[in-house]
Chain A
Amino acid sequence: MEGAHDLGGIGGFGSVRTDDGELAHHEPWELRAQSLASAVCRGARPWIEGLDPPTYLTTPYYGRWLLAAERASVANGIVSRATLEAWQRRIRVGESPPVVRDDRLRSRQAHAMTTPSPIASARQPFFAVGDSVRVKRIYEPNRHHRIPRYVRGVTGSIEAICGEDNIAGHDSNAVEPFYTVRFSSGDVWGERGDEAPFVIHVDLWQSYLESAVSA
């Protein structure tokens, strides 16, 4: 998706630090919304990234999780829009969600949160550490991917082979090696007077990359 979530390098957002920025969240519903999202889709990223830009940019962080959870629930056929709207009316007039205890669901959730599920190591990585690679230029407005705009077309070098995992945006069984790619700030942003050169690392799947001849 070429959405508003791809924020690296956008100007004008102002200070990072704010008076209320230290907390993780403000209100009790927020982590509940995130928890619901994790229950209805395998990964929430595509659902959040697929929000239209005006909505994305004007909805608070956990509100985006809620919208993603609603969209995924309806799109995956878990609940109908009508059921959801009926419950919204009931909550609006003071009803509460049913209180249900379910040991199986609770322990499955606890297990998922506390048990690591490490990715496999890359069996046949095409690139080796030190290789010069260029990030492909792409335009995928309707498909989830994880290629930040700011590195597209930029040449960097393979810093690490991370392993292999489901490639973002492809069918769920496709696995592919992914790499940490090292870029110099000058190659990404040009030489600048206001910020000394620095290094940026971005983790990218193999098919996002092409070989580049070292200069």
Chain B
Amino acid sequence: MSGHDHPDDDHDQDHGHSHYELPKSRRARSEFELRTLALEAALTEKGIVSTDSIDAFIEIIEQRMGPHLGAKVVAKSWVDPEYKARLLADANAAMAELGIAGAEGDNMRVVENTPLVHNLVVCTLCSCYPWPLLGAPPIWYKSFAYRARAVAEPRAVLREWETELDPEVEVRVWDSSAEVRYLVLPERPSGSEEMSEDDLATLVSRDSMIGVAKAISPTSRN
């Protein structure tokens, strides 16, 4: 996922380069872009940031971090009950076993879905999100609608994803209001019993690790 999907015709983003390039017109495309570039220029001049320090931030959050790592953790916990126990007891140590660590994931807690419990993660005050496991949050996660509604009508929010829960299931919402970041461990879908760990990881969607959806059913995918 990248930010290079801008609809403007005049942009000339060189995908091989990570550092910022203005369109051929040399005009910022919006007031926000203009002010961002002005602040970048002023801070670069002061030696607070450099072009490549900003590029490093973006490259890490866009390319190194991402839901492929969350899916790896989940798939491993599906096939290895001891790993799952370690993940639920000390998520950071279990992530470190797979070489996963980083900003906005320093204090992780993984919460497990079961036939009787469904977890949902939100940040009502801003947009706290487990970057090392999921990357940058999707736009809907940061929307006013999600932040307002997830703690007030979670089942109604889940229905937007066609996630229907049985009435006896307890919905547990986690508002990431301080320094802990949450990841949902979705249930392993039925029909996946014969699948390898790598194949299982393809069933673990980002949305299932936020809790708005369940893991992808292997039978529905064919």
Residues of A within 8 A of B (CB): 5-11, 13-18, 20-36, 38-40, 45, 48-49, 57, 60-63, 66, 69-70, 73, 78-79, 83-84, 87-88, 90-92, 94-103, 105-106, 108-110, 112-119, 146-148, 150, 160, 162-163, 165, 168, 178, 180, 188-189, 194-196, 198-205
Across the interface, do A79 and B42 meet the contact criterion of CB distance under 8 Å? yes
Across the interface, do A114 and B60 meet the contact criterion of CB distance under 8 Å? yes
- Report chain A residues within 8 Å CB of B64: 114
Does B38 make an interface contact (CB < 8 A)?
Answer: yes
- Report chain B residues within 8 Å CB of A45: 125-126
Across the interface, do B50 and A66 meet the contact criterion of CB distance under 8 Å? no
Across the interface, do B53 and A5 meet the contact criterion of CB distance under 8 Å? no
Known A57-B144, A109-B53; 14 more pairs at CB < 8 Å: A13-B148, A26-B6, A35-B54, A61-B127, A100-B44, A100-B50, A114-B60, A115-B101, A116-B105, A146-B177, A195-B154, A201-B174, A203-B177, A203-B178
Residues A28 and B52 in contact in the complex (CB < 8 Å), given A22-B138, A112-B103, A150-B151 = no
> Number of contact residues on B: which range applies?
35 or more
What residue of chain A has the Cβ atom nearest to residue B155's Cβ? A195
- Report chain B residues within 8 Å CB of A112: 103
Across the interface, do B170 and A199 meet the contact criterion of CB distance under 8 Å? yes
Does B88 make an interface contact (CB < 8 A)?
Answer: no
Across the interface, do B176 and A118 meet the contact criterion of CB distance under 8 Å? no
Across the interface, do B39 and A61 meet the contact criterion of CB distance under 8 Å? no
* Complex alpha-carbon distance, A106 and B47, angstroms: 12
Residues A8 and B152 in contact in the complex (CB < 8 Å), given A36-B40, A203-B179 = yes
Across the interface, do A204 and B177 meet the contact criterion of CB distance under 8 Å? yes
What residue of chain A has the Cβ atom nearest to residue B13's Cβ? A28
- Report chain B residues within 8 Å CB of A115: 101-102
* Complex alpha-carbon distance, A170 and B166, angstroms: 44
Could you list some 15 contacts between A and B, CB below 8 A?
Answer: A9-B152, A24-B136, A26-B5, A27-B30, A31-B58, A35-B53, A38-B57, A78-B48, A97-B51, A99-B51, A109-B57, A112-B103, A116-B101, A165-B179, A194-B153
Residues A101 and B153 in contact in the complex (CB < 8 Å), given A10-B148, A94-B27 = no
- Report chain A residues within 8 Å CB of B98: none
Across the interface, do A114 and B3 meet the contact criterion of CB distance under 8 Å? no
Q: Which of B18-26, B68-76, B79-87 contacts A (4 or more CB under 8 A)?
A: B18-26
Across the interface, do A29 and B36 meet the contact criterion of CB distance under 8 Å? yes
Across the interface, do B52 and A106 meet the contact criterion of CB distance under 8 Å? yes
Query: Nearest chain B CB to A183's CB is how many angstroms away?
Result: 9
